[in-house]
Amino acid sequence: MTTKKRIIRAKTGVERECKGWEQEAVLRMLYNNLDPEVAEKPEDLIVYGGIGKAARNWESFDAIVRSLKQLEADETLLIQSGKPVGMFRTHPHAPRVLLSNSVLVPKWANWEHFNKLEKEGLMMYGQMTAGSWIYIGTQGILQGTYETFAEIARQHFSNSLRGTLTLTAGLGGMGGAQPLAVTMNDGVVLAVDVDCERIQKRIDTKYCDRMTHSLDEALEWVVDAKEKGEPLSVGLVGNAAAVHHEIIARGVHIDIVTDQTSAHDPLNGYVPEGFSLVEARELRENDSTRYVKLANVSMRKHVEAMLEFQKRGSIVFDYGNNIRQVAKDEGLVEAFDFPGFVSAYIRPLFCEGKGPFRWVALSGDPEDIYRTDRLIKELFPENEALCRWIDMAQEKVAFQGLPSRICWLGYGERKKMGLAINELVRTGELKAPIVIGRDHLDCGSVASPNRETEAMLDGSDAVGDWAILNALINTSAGASWVSVHHGGGVGMGYSLHAGMVVVADGTELAEQRLERVLTTDPGMGVIRHADAGYQLAKDVAKEKDVVIPMDES
């Protein structure tokens, strides 16, 4: 196995290396996932979310690139946990690539088995959009995080976070969206991370305002900003398991508490209290069992602090990293006393088929995205929140890698936007095709009982069929690439989920595929929630003619 360090940059421009734009889109998105501006540790092929990777190893990466360059417009490439394993003749409406990442037979679906298989070179952790090549940097989660904090403001703080203080931890690929999402809602946030380089990256990309190693200084800054009602984000270098208790001891009132350390992966994602990054790396390599034990104990302590904040009146919620489960497994009986963010704030959006719709300009030209920003406003002028979001994103979000945009759109809206984008490509208003995709954290693509499907109305939290049906219908509908993953977000054994990407290259073929896929995909969200008994989803289905054979309401 080679150990050479490689630097991969997103490719841009109108010249192709592949035989068609669809294949070229896959290639550019793979490169984009590993662009140093986008990925957290590109030299190890790690994109985000603990050890979420884009390819199993560099040999596999090279083989994927070679295969994509050979791939014909009626062939399909198969990827098994980051390694290309076959190429078959299919047909032009079929996906060009099908991927399955980290899927283990249920009885074996735990980190112990996964880590063993990974060590043997047989598997890779795909997280969600890392292994399915549609990660777009921290912006990808920004609107969802912004919407979550906006909903908290609506439910608990008279529509704004002005004059409130949020405490969180983890400023990695996804967690790094938190400081900007809070300040966009006019609040103040203190975000703790053990790794000063991660905080620096958020400062460089304008997601976070200031950094300090001193808790005293951090508290002085945030309390002052809170009193003045000024938005401010501060990254504090420290270990959350310790810092949170110190803040409790000092009696500082925190309004909102959450967390986005990579708690889903105790071995690679969470640094135990008392360890420097170097010491943690050494322990991880030399005694992984002890590392996991210490990380779990620290996570229990971390959750104990969150529960104490809740007792003292803070709004506390789990932000999708499974930290409550770890604490519960460590014996903390009341770990689930605070809710997860989907059941508390996001589910009504899922009922309408809404979710994190995103698109990427393959030209590499930011002007292509600015044109699509205007397109959103032309298509949905009545949606003031959406138009405001586009203005804010334009002003505050620095592009990472290929220029891209995200916004939450629902059933009907995604198709409308996708077809309009295809038209702009066809008429040459955009310089090159656009890739359209989404996070796996979406309305109809995940089974994750501690997150997206927590506390479903009918108790169907752990039913995995929906994620598989999502991948099957999107494949049938003709997405450009479709993926099925296990363990994303919350770790091994806790989730099954599917991804899809479809390319708008301005052709009639693309138009047909976009129309179908951008209907089936959000449609899965509507039918999944209607089936679980949510009246809002049933109403949306009725209003928009989504056929549900056994719905009598």
Residues 432-461 close enough to bind ligand NAD by CB under 6 A = 441
Residue 49 binds ligand NAD, judged by CB under 6 A? yes
- For ligand NAD, the binding residue among 8, 26, 29, 194 (CB under 6 A) is 194
Closest CB 227 distance from ligand NAD, rounded Å: 26
- 335 belongs to the binding site for ligand NAD (CB under 6 A): no
- Contact of 27 with 13, CB cutoff 8 Å: no
Nearest residue to 57 via CA among 48, 69, 71, 46? 46
| Chain residues 270-299 in contact with ligand NAD, contact rule CB under 6 A | 270-271
Stretch that binds ligand NAD, among 255-263, 413-421, 523-531, 543-551 (CB under 6 A): 255-263
State the minimum distance, in angstroms, from the CB of residue 197 to ligand NAD. 9
Task: Tell me whether residue 20 is annotated as binding.
Answer: no
Name the one range near ligand NAD by CB under 6 A: 43-51, 58-66, 409-417, 542-550: 43-51
Q: 331 among the known binding-site residues?
A: no
Query: If DSSP codes are grouped into helix, strand and coil, which group holds residue 353?
Result: coil
The continuous run of DSSP H or E covering 358 comes out as strand 355-361
200 assigned ligand-binding residue:
no
**319 annotated as ligand-binding:** yes
Annotated ligand binding at 524? The verdict is no
Query: What tokens were used for 99?
Result: 């991927």
Binding of ligand NAD at residue 342 (CB under 6 A)? no
Q: Does 319 bind ligand NAD (CB under 6 A)?
A: yes
**Residue 264 is assigned to a ligand binding site:** yes
Minimal distance in Å, beta carbon 174 to ligand NAD? 3
Rank residues 232 and 303 by Cβ distance to ligand NAD and give the closer one: 303
Is 9 assigned to a binding site?
no
Residue nearest to ligand NAD (CB): 172
Question: Is 235 an interacting residue with respect to ligand NAD (CB under 6 A)?
Answer: no
Q: Which listed range, 190-198, 477-485, 500-508, 509-517, lies at the site for ligand NAD (CB under 6 A)?
A: 190-198
Tell me, what DSSP letter sits at residue 156? Answer: H
Phi, psi of 470 (to 5 degrees): -60, -45
Nearest CB to ligand NAD, comparing residues 81 and 145? 145
Query: How far is Cα 335 from Cα 453, in angstroms, rounded to an integer?
Result: 18
Long-range CB contacts (within 8 A, 24+) of 115-121: 115/267, 115/288, 121/1, 121/56, 121/57
Under the binding rule (CB under 6 A), the answer on residue 304 touching ligand NAD is no
Supply the DSSP symbol for 245.
H
Q: Is 251 exposed, middle or buried (0-12, 13-18, 19+ CB in 10 A)?
A: exposed
Give the integer Cα–Cα distance in Å for 263 and 50.
Answer: 9
233 closest CA partner among 159, 334, 164, 326: 164
Near ligand NAD by CB under 6 A: residue from 8, 26, 97, 263: 263
Tell me, by CB under 6 A, how many residues bind ligand NAD: 34
| Contact of 400 with 472, CB cutoff 8 Å | no
Q: Does the protein bind ligand NAD through residue 356 (CB under 6 A)?
A: no
175 is a contact residue toward ligand NAD (CB under 6 A) = yes
345 assigned ligand-binding residue: no
- Whichever of 266 and 506 has its CB closer to ligand NAD, that residue is 266
What is the C-alpha to C-alpha distance for residues 323 and 330, in angstroms, rounded to an integer? 11
Q: Under 8 Å CB-to-CB from 526, ≥6 apart: which residues?
A: 351, 352, 353, 411, 443, 444, 537, 540, 541, 544, 546
Burial 31-49 (b: 16+ CB within 10 A, else e): bbbbbebbbbebeebbbbb
Closer residue to ligand NAD, CB minimum distance, 445 or 519 = 445
Question: Among residue numbers 197 through 216, which ones bind ligand NAD (CB under 6 A)?
Answer: 198
- Which of 298/520 has CB closer to ligand NAD? 298
171 binds ligand NAD (CB under 6 A): yes
The span from the CA of 203 to the CA of 225, in Å, is 18
Least distance to ligand NAD, CB of residue 259, Å:
8
Active-site positions read 407
DSSP string, 61-129: HHHHHHHHHH--TTEEEEEETTEEEEEEE--TTS-SEEEEES---GGG-SHHHHHHHHHTTS----TTT
Among 321, 422, 450, 480, binds ligand NAD (CB under 6 A): 321
146 binds ligand NAD (CB under 6 A): no
CA dihedral 36, 500, 71, 37 (to 10 degrees): -10
User: Is 270 marked as binding a ligand?
Assistant: yes
Q: Provide the 8-state DSSP code for 41.
A: B
**Crossing angle of helices 508-531 and 465-477, rounded to 10°:** 160
Query: Which of 164, 239, 445, 470 lies at the binding interface for ligand NAD (CB under 6 A)?
Result: 239
Amino acid found at 359: W
Using CB under 6 A, list all residues that contact ligand NAD: 40, 48-50, 141, 144, 169-175, 192-195, 198, 239-241, 260-264, 269-271, 319-321, 441, 489
- Residue stretches of the annotated binding site for NAD(+): 49-50, 127, 173-175, 193, 198, 239-240, 260-264, 270-271, 319, 489
